[in-house]
Amino acid sequence: MEQRFDITKLIPEGYKTMYALHTYVQGAGLDLGLLELVRLRVSQTNGCGFCVAMHIPLARKYGITEHQINLVATWKESPVFSVRERAALAWADAVTALAGQEVPDTVYEQVKAEFSPEEIANLTLCIGEINTWNRLMIASRTPPAL
């Protein structure tokens, strides 16, 4: 597939704004490995090859194990995730899918048991951020870096 457009060249201010959001999320106090696990899961869900390829090495860098990387697509059946990671992944799935245009109360209760309200807000911002990156990369057909 041929790349349709490059946002870094066509709308550099838009790219800088998105990157500023990323920088905020990175510094918001959540574990960087957890953020990468969430970004990887959302990118898999959305089918974004560019972002999956980007977040696997970043997940490794921030301490996510090979087992976790390999099993994040099937996290519900995989025993390698902590209760906190499971809550974050369930939240990521629910916020990304928005089944019935809502996030179920059961999933909210699960994430609320593991995260403070501020952490939930920042986690949700991370999920929104990666969903936007996924949509930009998929729409532009940006290929994974080799």
What is the tens place of the pLDDT at every residue in 35-81?
999 999 999 999 999 999 999 999 999 999 999 999 999 999 999 99
Burial class (CB in 10 A: 0-12, 13-18, 19+), 131: buried
* pLDDT attached to residue 146: 73
Asked if residue 5 belongs to a domain, the reply is: no
- 88 closest CA partner among 115, 55, 60: 115
Domain count, the chain: 1
Q: Record the pTM.
A: 0.95
Asked if residue 48 belongs to a domain, the reply is: yes
Asked if residue 145 belongs to a domain, the reply is: no
Asked if residue 6 belongs to a domain, the reply is: no
CATH number, residue 106: 1.20.1290.10
Segment 88-113, tens digit of pLDDT: 999 999 999 987 889 999 999 999 99
Asked if residue 7 belongs to a domain, the reply is: no
* pLDDT attached to residue 145: 82
Is the alpha carbon torsion for 114, 128, 24, 80 positive or negative? Answer: positive
Asked if residue 84 belongs to a domain, the reply is: yes
Percent above pLDDT 90 for the chain = 95
